[in-house]
Structure 1
Amino acid sequence: MSLLHPYFIIAITYMLFFSVQEVFGNKVDKKWFWFLGIYLIILAGLRNNVGPDYGSYKSLYLYSDTKEYINIFLKALHLEGSENVDLEWLYALINKVLLNVFNAPFYILTFVIAIFAIYFKVEYTDDNTFYPFTFTLFMFIPNFFIGESGQIRQNLGTFIVYFSLRFIKERKLLLYLFWMFIATGIHNVCYIFLPMYWLVRVPLNKMTMLVLIIASVFASPFEVYRVFGDFLTNISTDSMLVEGFNGYMDESSQRLNGGFGIPEAMLMIVTFFLFVFDDKMVEKYPYYEYHRVYVVLGICLYFIFRNNPIFSSRLAGAFIGFSYIIVINAMYVVSSNTKKLIYTFIIALVFFNFVVFASFKNIIGGRFTVDLYKNHILP
């Protein structure tokens, strides 16, 4: 077992302290959540050669400067330019401006991306749960290391999508489409969220959810996603980043051919909360029905794409990020004793993830250990 750097343990301790306050005391002022956000920006944004994808993203940074501005803007309009831009237009533009105009070192890019990602993360979390510290703590391992400190493009793109949920709630289509345009300019995977403005209003009941999930489980071995051809491949796979992404993964042939692992266990937990607390959530939690659609789609997509570790992690994973919020929000609709049980279970899962992350190669491959993690400003 390897030990996480104390900087991360400080963040976990801070979240745990305020998590207890918000669950069993009064609502915690948002400024304390922003203090956490600023600290996480420093940890992720100013890391020095940390994360399996660090070298790949550094190569993309230099690659972006070889493209002309006109071709980047044509890419945004889905038009062909004089040269092919093999990168999403907005991410390429951010890279090129930082390098071409400011001659900024690479860590300035990771810092800028971290600022945007954490901003949208804070706003989304504050909008959609009464327990923002608990949700952030629950998602911290491994999401912070895979997202803000790893796959920074998909992480930023999906949190822009998550943030734009507020415009679905407000039924502001033009604003939603604007932010979807921005999100897809960061990562192509965000295109799969475009229909959500309409799909969230599709009525679901327990029987419908059960049929959809069971059908997806039975469809899993048949790899039905192959009927979409190259479309899904184009929005989920980046050859320059696959090696870095695999630094987080510990897939075995048994796991990919029907075995049972941590992802399946987590989805069982989400499914349990989805069905057991559905009625109370519909009655008491605002806009739960919208979250429920994201959750069901996430579960179904995971099993449909299960035989492909990239698809199941990137395409389904983008939806599954929404799913876990119902575990946290369930505490709002239950009795005091049940809330204590759920909270105990959540904290137990946090420590379980801590031990698992420390036990696998992830922590060393990502250079997050006490002896490997480096930061440009922190000692």
Structure 2
Amino acid sequence: MSLLHPYYLIAIIYMLIFSIQEVFVKKVDKKWFWVLAVYLIIIAGLRDNVGPDYGSYKGIYIYSDTKDYISIIRKALHIEGSESVEIEWLYALINKILLNVFNAPFYIVTLIIATFAMFFKVEYTEDNTFYPFTYTLFMFIPNFFIGESGQIRQNLGTFVIYFAIRYIKERNLWKYLFWVFIATGIHNVCYLFLPMYWLVKLRLNRFVMLTLIIASIFASPFEIYRVFGSFLDNISSDSVLVEGFNGYVEESIERLNGGFGVPEAMMAILTFFLFTFDKQMEEKYPYYEYHKVFAVFGICMYFIFRNNPIFSSRMAGAFIGFSYIIIPNAMYVVSQNAKRLIYAFIIFLVIFNFILFSTFNNITAGRFTIDQYKNFILP
């Protein structure tokens, strides 16, 4: 068992203190959430060779400068050119400007990407839950290490699209389309969110939810996603990152062949909260119906793509990351005793994920340990 660097432990303790306050005392001023955001920007954005995909993203940085601006703009406009750009246009443009114009070292890239990611993360979290510290603590392990400190491109893209959900609520199509355009310029997986502007209007009762989830479970062994051919590969694949990603996320043969592991347990927990608190959430929590559609869509995608660890994590994971907000939100609609039970369960999951993350090779593979982590400004 490995131990996380104290910088991460400080963040966990900070979140826990304000989590207790926001759940059992009163809402915490947003400025304290921004303090956390700035701290996380520093430990993620200024990390030195930390994260399983650090070297791969450094390679992308150099690669981006080999493409001319015209080719990048053509990529943005979906116009075929003589020179192909293998990564998304906006991410390539950010990299090229930083290297070509400013000759910036690579840690400036990770710092800028982390800053944007945390900005959008703070905004969408504040928009969608009364318990931002609790939700962030709940998602911290492993998401912060896979996201802000790992798959930084998909991480930023999904936070941009999460932020844009506010325009679904406002029913402002043009603003939503603009942010979809920006998000897909960072990572292709965000194209999957485009139809959500209309799909959130679906009314899902418990029978419909159960039918969709069970059908997806039964469809899992048949790998029906293969009918889409290379389209899904283009959305989720990053050839230069697959090695780092696979070295970080452990998948057992038994689980991929129908066994039961942590991802399935989390799907079961999310499904339990969906069904148990569905009526109370509909009555008391704003826009819960939209959250519910995202959650059901994510659960179904997970089981449909389950036999492909890249699809089930990158594609379904983009929806599931937002859907987990339902779990802490359930505390808003229940009695004080039920709130205490839900909170205790959330803290149990935090501790469980901490132990699990420390037991596997994830901490050492990502160099997040007390003896491996390095930062350009922190001692």
Report if TM-score (shorter chain) is over 0.5: yes
1:297 equivalenced with 2:292 (yes/no): no
Whether the 8 Å contact between 1:285 and 1:333 is mirrored in structure 2 is: yes
Q: Would you identify which runs of 4 or more consecutive aligned residues in structure 1 move more than 6 Å?
A: none
Taking structure 2 as the reference length, the TM-score comes to 1.00
Q: Tell me the alpha carbon deviations over residues 31-83 of structure 1, each in whole angstroms, 9 at most, x when there is no partner.
A: 00000000000011000000010000000000000000000000000001220
Aligned to 1:149: 149
Aligned to 1:373: 373
Whether the 8 Å contact between 1:247 and 1:366 is mirrored in structure 2 is: no
1:318 equivalenced with 2:329 (yes/no): no
1:109 equivalenced with 2:113 (yes/no): no
Aligned to 1:91: 91
Q: Tell me the alpha carbon deviations over residues 202-248 of structure 1, each in whole angstroms, 9 at most, x when there is no partner.
A: 11100000000000000000000000000000000111000011122
Unaligned ranges ≥5, structure 1: none
Counterpart Cα distance in 2 of 1:145 and 1:64: 24
Q: Tell me the alpha carbon deviations over residues 285-324 of structure 1, each in whole angstroms, 9 at most, x when there is no partner.
A: 0000000000000000000000000000011000100111
Q: How does 1:38-77 map to 2 (within 5 A)?
A: 38-77=38-77
Aligned to 1:129: 129
Aligned to 1:256: 256
Aligned to 2:14: 14
Counterpart Cα distance in 1 of 2:200 and 2:378: 43
Q: How does 1:173-192 map to 2 (within 5 A)?
A: 173-192=173-192
Aligned to 1:228: 228
Counterpart Cα distance in 2 of 1:314 and 1:249: 11
Counterpart Cα distance in 1 of 2:247 and 2:167: 36
Counterpart secondary structure, 1:51: coil
Aligned to 1:338: 338
Amino acid at match of 2:256: L
Q: Tell me the alpha carbon deviations over residues 119-178 of structure 1, each in whole angstroms, 9 at most, x when there is no partner.
A: 000000000000000000000000000000000000000010100010000011000000
Amino acid at match of 2:211: V
Amino acid at match of 1:63: Y
Counterpart Cα distance in 1 of 2:235 and 2:168: 23
What is the CA RMSD across the aligned residues, in angstroms? 0.4
Aligned to 1:203: 203
Aligned to 1:363: 363
Q: Tell me the alpha carbon deviations over residues 78-118 of structure 1, each in whole angstroms, 9 at most, x when there is no partner.
A: 00122010010000000000000000000000000000000
Q: How many residues align?
A: 379
Counterpart secondary structure, 1:240: coil
Identity across matched positions, percent: 76
Unaligned ranges ≥5, structure 2: none
